[in-house]
Amino acid sequence: MEPFYELSYKDLDGWLDENHSKALEVFLKSSLRLHKELSTLDFNKGARYFFEQNFIPTLVGSPEETLFTGYFESEVFGSLEKDEEYKFPIYKKPLNIEKTKKWFSRREIEEENLLANQGLEIVYLKSKIDLFFLHIQGSGRVLLKDGSIIRVGFEEKNGHKYVSIGKILINRGVFETNTITQKKLKEWIFDNLEQGDELLLENPSYIFFKIISDLGDSDGPIGTMKIPLIPLRSLAVDPTVIPLGTPLWVEKNGDVPLRRLMFAHDTGSAIKGPKRADIFYGTGKKSEELAGNVVDFGRMIILKQRK
């Protein structure tokens, strides 16, 4: 079991400068339902007072720093019809998949064309690389030729363990540990297309999608908590260490430092242990650029509910 170290709010860098009211709005919309005993409390004394009176800042695990990365909701170009330009399909879940069993790997699915001619295609994308990273993100917006948008989200996976292609390139000496970003990774694949195609197949995990039709245009994608993610407030964590809905104080360093109260709304295949977190940056190219450059260290402090 991981050790816990209680802190004081005076120990939190930037705590007094936070917009606690905005953070409380997020908490009331999402995480509060997991803290039912707090739902009858009087919030009139202020948002900062609410957090300080009801939660204890707590470090979990060993004293080394947390590694922060970023993620986003993809925006990619697509078509409802396959043609020479749009030929890489996003697939729905096949009927013969069972949750408890491994299905075919990514390599088998793509090299043997196992999903073709079954009516499983939702939409076709321009780029195999866009498709692969959509699998990594787990959700996205597909911009069609007529200007309309289809939103897709995770439905099921093939049961194979996720393998990081970034770690493969680190092991090969192409990149250094903890300096590789998604932007650099994409650039390497574009510059080395033959090797890049083979590299994508090294990740056996494969994601199947569904159309998401009950979200507003301004809503983020649905996270593991089954609520829309909120830019720079929603965090992906390891739920075996940090329960979903937990408030977390983030002190991320790097080129763009971040001091902010965030919430455990999501999970990720690569996010394991108490010293890993993925920050949701939003939707589209600007968010992709911001998230894709984040490989930063810092502190992540759990706000543990007082007993």
Q: What is the pLDDT of residues 122-172, one digit of tens each?
A: 999 999 999 999 998 888 999 998 999 999 999 999 999 999 999 999 999
* ∠ CA 271-197-190, rounded to 5°: 85
In this prediction, residue 41 carries a pLDDT of 60
Q: Are 59 and 5 in contact (CB under 8 A)?
A: yes
Instruction: Compute the average pLDDT of residues 246-250.
Output: 97
Q: Phi and psi for 302 in degrees, rounded to 5?
A: -75, 135
Per-residue pLDDT band for 100 (boundaries 50, 70, 90) equals confident
Domains annotated on the chain, with CATH = 4-69+221-305 (2.40.40.10), 73-211 (2.40.240.50)
Q: Are 256 and 250 in contact (CB under 8 A)?
A: no
> Looking at the predicted structure, is the pLDDT value of residue 70 above 90?
yes
**Per-chain mean pLDDT for the chain:** 91
Indicate if the alpha-carbon torsion angle 147, 153, 159, 163 is positive or negative: positive
Q: Are 220 and 29 in contact (CB under 8 A)?
A: no
In this prediction, residue 152 carries a pLDDT of 95
Per-residue pLDDT band for 39 (boundaries 50, 70, 90) equals low
pTM for the structure as a whole: 0.84
| Percent of the chain scoring above 90 in pLDDT | 74
Q: Are 158 and 114 in contact (CB under 8 A)?
A: no
In this prediction, residue 268 carries a pLDDT of 86
Residue with structure tokens 């569904």? 210
Q: Which helix (H) or strand (E) holds 59?
A: strand 55-60
In this prediction, residue 40 carries a pLDDT of 59
